[in-house]
Amino acid sequence: MAHEDAAISQRVRALETELERRGVVDGATLDGILDRLLARSTPREGARVIARAWVDQAFRDRLGDDGNAAIAELGLSMSHGPAPQRLRVVENTERVHNVVVCTLCSCYPISLLGPSPSWYKSEAYRSRVVRWPREVLAEFGLELPAETEIRVWDASAETRYLVLPRRPAGTENATEQELAGLVTRAGMIGSAAV
């Protein structure tokens, strides 16, 4: 049985082959772009952003105003191709919980979260979380109070989303590095609390 991503992989390879054939880009350039992107692409990068926002209110404000500029302060970037993606950071509060999806394909801030989890790319997640977010989150083990508003953000080729989870209680004396260790990729997508 073929993996569900096999068809997408074949289409990507066909596109790469056509771009190379037309002289738009060569294989070595494509490999270099991917190597540079994936060399630092890990959820630890996003966790650094979240931890900084938890300890530095001014950074948190800048992150909400202009995610791209704020992450640049940490040496991070959303520029990986001809046009940078806009990073929009949405903050969880006591009354609002945010969750991210890409209903069209699987747009996702790879540079901050590493390669996307297979469930994020699945048709089941992409179609169901928009209609039944509370139920889908419960399937991930995240039970939210009935009064909590759930906002679903649809990522695109132009705009990627990062959820700023609520800082866990009892972490007032934790260092920024310790806080970063608490943040999960699922929390930054919104399918977990942290």
User: pLDDT tens digits for 96-123?
Assistant: 999 999 998 889 898 899 988 889 999 9
pLDDT of 139 higher than 90:
yes
Q: Does domain 41-189 have CATH number 3.40.50.980?
A: no
Indicate the pTM of the whole model: 0.81
User: pLDDT tens digits for 1-53?
Assistant: 344 445 555 676 777 788 888 888 887 777 776 666 666 678 999 999 999 99
Q: What backbone phi and psi angles, to 5 degrees, belong to 99?
A: -140, 145
Q: Where are the domains of the chain?
A: 1-40, 41-189
Rounded to an integer, what distance in angstroms lies between the CA atom of residue 92 and that of residue 25? 41
Strand ranges in the chain using DSSP code E only, listed in sequence order = 86-91, 96-101, 149-154, 159-164
Q: What percent of the chain has pLDDT over 70?
A: 88
Say which of 9, 41, 77, 107 is annotated catalytic: 107
User: pLDDT tens digits for 64-100?
Assistant: 999 999 999 999 999 866 677 999 999 999 999 999 9
Give 113's DSSP letter: H
Is 102 noted as a catalytic residue in this protein?
A: yes
Say which of 105, 111, 116, 118 is annotated catalytic: 105
pLDDT of 191 higher than 50:
yes
Say which of 41, 102, 111, 191 is annotated catalytic: 102
Say which of 41, 106, 111, 191 is annotated catalytic: 106
Residue type at position 122: S
Is 106 noted as a catalytic residue in this protein?
A: yes
Is 107 noted as a catalytic residue in this protein?
A: yes
Give SS3 for 16. Answer: helix
